[in-house]
Structure 1
């Protein structure tokens, strides 16, 4: 992938992320804070941004979103590589959600 193409892809990803995050914050702020793993102050700022401001911020040459976990256990639970039954899969997704919630709570504390 060429550098210019990679930069364009990053900008598109950034804009999509910012627009999604802004919509989530405006719809249900508490849930958005949890799902996005961001502070209330950052959410307030993002919620108030205009489309032009979102485009300007998105045009930076660095990714604004990132995966918040690198734990193999969480990835395994989310991808259901080892789940054989639907009940187990639901329990695995719940377990992954609990793990992520505890990490988000300790990160914001």
Structure 2
């Protein structure tokens, strides 16, 4: 993928993420804090940003959103990659993954 196209894709992803985050925060801040994994200070900043600020921040050549979990246990539970015996209880696996994810601290401001 050419560098310019990659930069455009990153900008579009960033803008979509910021717009979604802002909508979530303005709609239900407590739920947004949990779902986004951001600190309250960062949520307040995003909620207060103007459309011009969102576009300016989104135009950085770095992805603003990142995979929240680098734990293989969480990813195995999310993707249901486990033994056939455990596959029968996928609801418990999803619940276990949710509990593990909820226990993670939000990103520092």
| SS in structure 1 at match of 2:67 | coil
Q: Deviations over 1:36-85 (max 9, x none)?
A: 11111111111111111111110000000101111111001001122532
Paired position in structure 1 for 2:96: 95
The runs of at least 4 consecutive aligned structure 1 residues that moved more than 4 Å come to none
TM-score by length of 2: 0.89
| SS in structure 1 at match of 2:87 | coil
Paired position in structure 2 for 1:53: 53
1:74-85 alignment runs, 5 A limit: 74-82=74-82, 83-85=86-88
TM-score by length of 1: 0.89
Structure 2 gaps, min length 5: none
1:14-29 alignment runs, 5 A limit: 14-29=14-29
Paired position in structure 2 for 1:11: 11
Paired position in structure 1 for 2:73: 73
| CA distance in structure 2 between the aligned counterparts of 1:24 and 1:93, rounded to whole angstroms | 23
Structure 1 gaps, min length 5: none
Structure with more helix by fraction: 1
Aligned-residue RMSD, C-alpha: 1.4
| CA distance in structure 2 between the aligned counterparts of 1:63 and 1:73, rounded to whole angstroms | 25
